[in-house]
Amino acid sequence: MHRPGTALASWLQCRFAWVLVALLSATELPALPAQSASLPTDRARITVASIPDAYNPGGPALKVLRTDARTPLRAGTAWIWSKPDYEEPASYYASLRAKGLNGVRLILFDTWEVDAYPPSATFTPTDWNDPRYRATQLARLERAVNHASAHGLYAIINSHNKIPHYNAAYADALWTHVAPYFARRTHVLYEAANEPLEGLGNNGSLTARADDDPRDSPRLQALKRTYNIIRKHAPDTHILVLSPPGINDYATGTGLGNLAAAFAALPGTVDWTKTSVAYHLYNNDRDFGTVSHRAANLRNLHARFPGWPSENNFPASITSETLGITDAGRSAQFDDDLYVNQTCERLGLGWCMWNINGQARLDRNWPLLRADAVAKGWTWQPDPPAKPRR
């Protein structure tokens, strides 16, 4: 039998214990505001502009991204990684600005690890639903976003999954917390994924059959659900979607545009004034002759939808030893442009270099890029100094 009042006393003791644990746990977590605060140095939001097609001035205009200075978005790369505890110092962002860049792609590499490694005694996956991890990672991101702001750069936050994997539960948890946190930062863009698709398939079908409907793809459906989460929490932030590893589409030249149309047709509205198609320039249909001639596949996409090349690399003629890297990924050229950056400059698209991430690689590899630009006349003017916003 229970004595009168014993149950009530036990309940009160239990409640007190839980409150005490919660208070102690809260004091151990990094203190963060509910939302990242804007700074006077935040640049105004990226916009979508229509410009003449340099290869066909009388043809359809190209839809491109433009900064608040009406310049293309040209970016370097910075990693944010919890294992090891890795982020770039403020001086790196200053160096990017000094090279004439106006953006930096922030690589959340924990996403790649979750895709690459199963849980084990030596690997514990990160979890955005864990308040301790979330607070630490948001603090890392905020430092990067603030460094970018202070040095006049746009910050493209990228959930960097491993091709061709896509952990939808992880991605959705990440964006449920990241999207609202930086929603007020006008110089911030979100790139929802990194190479979540093995390729475009035949004319954007995601398979070898041209008549397959990509809307039936569970992967594309998952990507659209993630997009809807981001848009719900960040109604005004520019979102980059799809991010395939290349634009090879079985030589049709229209695959990426078709895939973008299928993505938009899935449940959830896409506002193309605040959304664009990201793509990586590693497979450019160069072997298909007339299809790749004068970057026809790129121009076809941009005639239909706004886009941005969110990752490209040095050409195959530059060795891994020269670059100080181990990966073999290279950008296949368009026509006679050894660097795809040159093609992107011709068309006014902007670009984002992969192997200039971190100060050592920036110092080592930037001179190679700059030398080609100077020799071939595709250099650019840095953005004018931004005026602090009040």
Give one DSSP letter per residue of 31-83, joined into a string.
P--SSPPP-TTPPPPPEEEEE--TT-TTSPPEEEEE-TTS---EEEEEEEBTT
pLDDT of residue 230: 98
What's the pLDDT band for 46 if we cut at 50, 70, 90? very high
pLDDT in tens, 278-314: 999 998 776 566 566 788 889 999 999 999 999 999 9
pLDDT in tens, 147-157: 999 999 999 99
Beta strand extents in 90-225 (DSSP E only): 103-108, 154-159, 188-191
pLDDT of residue 27: 41
Tell me the C-alpha distance between 369 and 346, whole Å. 16
What are the strands of the beta sheet with 275-280, ordered from one edge? 47-51, 62-66, 307-311, 275-280, 238-242, 188-191, 154-159, 103-108, 74-80, 351-352
Specify the range with the lowest mean pLDDT, choosing from 23-27, 245-249, 355-359, 376-380. Answer: 23-27
What's the pLDDT band for 10 if we cut at 50, 70, 90? very low
pLDDT in tens, 71-113: 999 999 999 999 888 999 999 999 999 999 999 999 999 999 9
Tell me the C-alpha distance between 103 and 74, whole Å. 6
CB neighbours of 145 closer than 8 A, spacing ≥ 6? 36, 106, 155, 157, 182, 185, 187, 188
Instruction: State how far Cα 240 lies from the chain centre.
Output: 7
Burial class (CB in 10 A: 0-12, 13-18, 19+), 46: buried
pLDDT of residue 64: 98
pLDDT of residue 286: 65
Burial class (CB in 10 A: 0-12, 13-18, 19+), 320: middle
Tell me the C-alpha distance between 326 and 119, whole Å. 26
What's the pLDDT band for 328 if we cut at 50, 70, 90? confident
H or E element that contains 342: helix 340-347
197: number of Cβ within 10 Å: 21
DSSP 267-289: SS---TTSEEEEEE-S---GGGG
Instruction: State how far Cα 191 lies from the chain centre.
Output: 3
CB neighbours of 340 closer than 8 A, spacing ≥ 6? 281, 284, 309, 312, 315, 331, 332, 333, 334, 351
More confident residue, 36 or 286: 36
Average pLDDT over residues 313-341: 92
Tell me the C-alpha distance between 386 and 70, whole Å. 12
Nearest to 308 by CA among 268, 279, 328, 331: 279
Q: Is the pLDDT of residue 131 over 70?
A: yes
Helix (H, G, I), strand (E, B) or coil at 250: coil
Mean pLDDT, rounded, of the chain: 90
Q: What's the whole-model pTM score? A: 0.91
Nearest to 182 by CA among 126, 214, 220, 144: 144
Burial class (CB in 10 A: 0-12, 13-18, 19+), 219: middle
Distances (CA, A) of 72 to 151, 266, 382: 17, 30, 10
What's the pLDDT band for 6 if we cut at 50, 70, 90? very low
Average pLDDT over residues 197-226: 96
Distances (CA, A) of 27 to 20, 22, 23, 24, 82: 11, 9, 6, 5, 21
CB neighbours of 244 closer than 8 A, spacing ≥ 6? 195, 197, 199, 200, 256, 259, 279, 280
Structural domains in the chain, sorted by start: 64-376 (3.20.20.80)
pLDDT of residue 20: 35
Q: What percent of the chain has pLDDT over 70?
A: 89
Q: How many residues does the chain have?
A: 390
Specify the range with the lowest mean pLDDT, choosing from 19-28, 222-231, 334-343. Answer: 19-28
pLDDT of residue 112: 97
Return the residue matching tokens 């000094």. Answer: 98
pLDDT of residue 289: 60
Distances (CA, A) of 58 to 41, 52, 53, 65, 348: 39, 8, 8, 21, 16
Specify the range with the lowest mean pLDDT, choosing from 50-64, 252-266, 316-330, 359-373. Answer: 316-330
What's the pLDDT band for 14 if we cut at 50, 70, 90? very low
